[in-house]
Amino acid sequence: MTAEPRPWLAPSASGPVGATVRLPGSKSMTARALVLAALADGPSVVERPLRARDTELMAAGLRAIGVAVDSSDDERWRLEPGPLRGPARVDVGLAGTIMRFLPPAAALAEGTVEFDGDPHARNRPLRPIVEALRSLGVSIDASATGGLPLTVRGAGLVEGGEAVIDASGSSQFVSGLLLSAPRFTKGLVLRHEGPPVPSAPHLRMTTHMLRAAGAVVDESVPDVWAVEPGPLRGRTWVIEPDLSGAAPFFAAAMVTGGSVTLGGWPAESWQPVGRLVELLTALGAEVTQSADGLTVRGSGQLHGITADLSEVSELTPVVSALAALADGPSELRGVEHIRGHETDRIAALATELGKAGAEVTEFRDGLRIEPRPLHQTDWETYADHRMAHAAAVIGLAVPGITLTDVGCTSKTLPEFPELWAGLVARS
Ligand SMILES: O=C(O)C1=C[C@@H](OP(=O)(O)O)[C@@H](O)[C@H](O)C1
Ligand SMILES: C=C(OP(=O)(O)O)C(=O)O
């Protein structure tokens, strides 16, 4: 079920913002922790999880297949694995993490598990993971396009072994298979064949977390991941603040010449903080880390950049917004696969930035953005939280940016409108 659209006038800043923001846990880490906890040999605790549509639906999906998930405490979700079983129905919403991480787990269940989601979820690519699972002996019915709706006919076990996949459309195909692979009878040796796999840091997050749960993983050969069969340990997962969710808040410091600190940032992170720092620095920010957190300071001056965003493709909307406010042109490439994200983000950004007055050239794999004086527009959000973040960033500097629906931010940060208004009020 999707809620009624909630139009929202993005607030403009009257001066530099200055704030420490506390954001909930990483969507990607929470999703992995929940799946690993569900497949473990004992109870787990997920501390400081993200509570948002993607992770609530993940928890609901796991409950549907037999896992006890107690999410009553915001700070600490408790999971007690049980025998995985159907029949069950899983609503994936618009979450890539659910539609790619849960079918392999459902294959381990005894019984039928049906997956479906929001209208646009049916357009998101799934075929490669479906075909890889079939090659591993799993019975799956998929739509004519190879995607949702999907029915996994779990046999209570997956034999596993060797599989080949083209994961150029999403790193989540690989992550999804790897997360369940220790529970496959023969484990898994997965080989990617095709154009490069995007989002390498997300793959590293998957292998780090698998090892932290006791799995034996070899990724020494490029594009090959080998996971030995064996138990996953229940444990306590401490989730880091969501770095991608923080990106628009950092952008606010940069657009207004202010300063934003992400509180609670760990000394060592499993998220691609190095790449984010490089990008924000090239765009004109100063980034520092201290006991207070990760701080981004803007000078009020933004520079155009040429960048390959394939490792951090989910940052493309916010980086594009910054590029549209910069002092020179930018070229952002290497992200063809984001045409299969929550919406076709390349087309959506070209259209909406163009409507606001920027001169945008669309490439198959990215965008060239020539800043121009921007003006008010009704900004279509396409049910995409990060299109909403991009609009909010533009709105700081351009009065009259009205989002067609700010409600879509509930995918990863339901409190976004309030947090953003609070930040801008301190400008
Ligand atoms: O595994 C994950 O948690 C994610 C991987 C990436 O997916 P793609 O490789 O499809 O871009 C990223 O964009 C997405 O937001 C989250
Ligand atoms: C691509 C994204 O999400 P998903 O996990 O649904 O793929 C995103 O959050 O930018």
Ligand 1 pocket, mutate which of 54, 98, 100, 172 (most atoms under 8 A from CB): 172
Alpha helices in 39-186 (DSSP H): 53-64, 96-106, 127-135, 172-180
Whether residue 399 is predicted with pLDDT greater than 60 in this model: the reply is yes
Whether residue 2 is predicted with pLDDT greater than 90 in this model: the reply is no
Task: Identify the bridge partners of residue 88 per DSSP, sorted by sequence position.
Answer: 113
Hunting for tokens 């075929």 — which residue is that? 127
Closest ligand by atom to 335 CA: 1
Is 234 strand, coil or helix? coil
Hunting for tokens 């990483």 — which residue is that? 26
Do 263 and 21 form a contact (C-beta atoms < 8 A)?
yes
User: Band of the pLDDT at 401, cuts 50, 70, 90?
Assistant: very high
Whether residue 1 is predicted with pLDDT greater than 60 in this model: the reply is no
Closest CA to 396 of 14, 36, 106, 71: 14
- Once rounded to an integer, what is the mean pLDDT over residues 12-37? 97
Task: Look up residue 87 and give its two tokens.
Answer: 């029949």
Report d(CA 198, CA 309) in Å as an integer.
Answer: 9
**Which tens digits make up the pLDDT trace of 128-173?**
999 999 999 999 999 999 999 999 999 999 999 999 999 999 999 9
Q: Which residues contact 335 (CB under 8 A, 6 or more apart)?
A: 198, 309, 310, 313, 316, 345, 346, 365, 366
- Ligand 2 atom nearest to CA at 95: 6
Do 108 and 38 form a contact (C-beta atoms < 8 A)?
no
pLDDT, residue 342, reads: 97
Using alpha carbons, list the distances in angstroms from residue 79 to 32, 53, 62, 384.
Answer: 13, 18, 10, 29
Provide the ipTM: 0.99
| 336 flagged as catalytic | no
Could you tell me if the CB of 317 is within 6 A of ligand 1?
Answer: no
Could you tell me if the CB of 96 is within 6 A of ligand 2?
Answer: yes
Shared fold status for 8-23+241-425 and 27-238: yes
Q: Fold for domain 27-238?
A: UDP-n-acetylglucosamine1-carboxyvinyl-transferase; Chain (3.65.10)
- What residue spans define the domains of the chain? 8-23+241-425, 27-238
Q: How far is the CA of 199 from the centre of ligand 2 (A)?
A: 11
pLDDT, residue 3, reads: 76
Q: Provide the greatest CA pair distance for the chain.
A: 61
Do 232 and 43 form a contact (C-beta atoms < 8 A)?
no
pLDDT, residue 253, reads: 98
pLDDT, residue 300, reads: 84
Report d(CA 156, CA 108) in Å as an integer.
Answer: 5
Question: Is 78 annotated in some ligand binding site?
Answer: no
Whether residue 221 is predicted with pLDDT greater than 80 in this model: the reply is yes
| Phi, psi for residue 118 in degrees, rounded to 5 | -65, 160
- Once rounded to an integer, what is the mean pLDDT over residues 167-186? 98
User: Would strands 236-238 and 44-47 be described as parallel, antiparallel, or unpaired?
Assistant: parallel
pLDDT, residue 427, reads: 87
User: Band of the pLDDT at 76, cuts 50, 70, 90?
Assistant: very high
Is 287 strand, coil or helix? strand
Question: Is 386 annotated in some ligand binding site?
Answer: yes
Considering the entire predicted model, what is its pTM? Answer: 0.98
**Which tens digits make up the pLDDT trace of 280-300?**
999 999 999 999 999 999 998
Could you tell me if the CB of 97 is within 6 A of ligand 1?
Answer: yes
Is 303 strand, coil or helix? coil
CATH of 8-23+241-425, one of 3.10.20.30, 3.65.10.10, 3.40.50.510, 3.30.360.10: 3.65.10.10
- Once rounded to an integer, what is the mean pLDDT over residues 323-340? 98
- Once rounded to an integer, what is the mean pLDDT over residues 265-290? 97
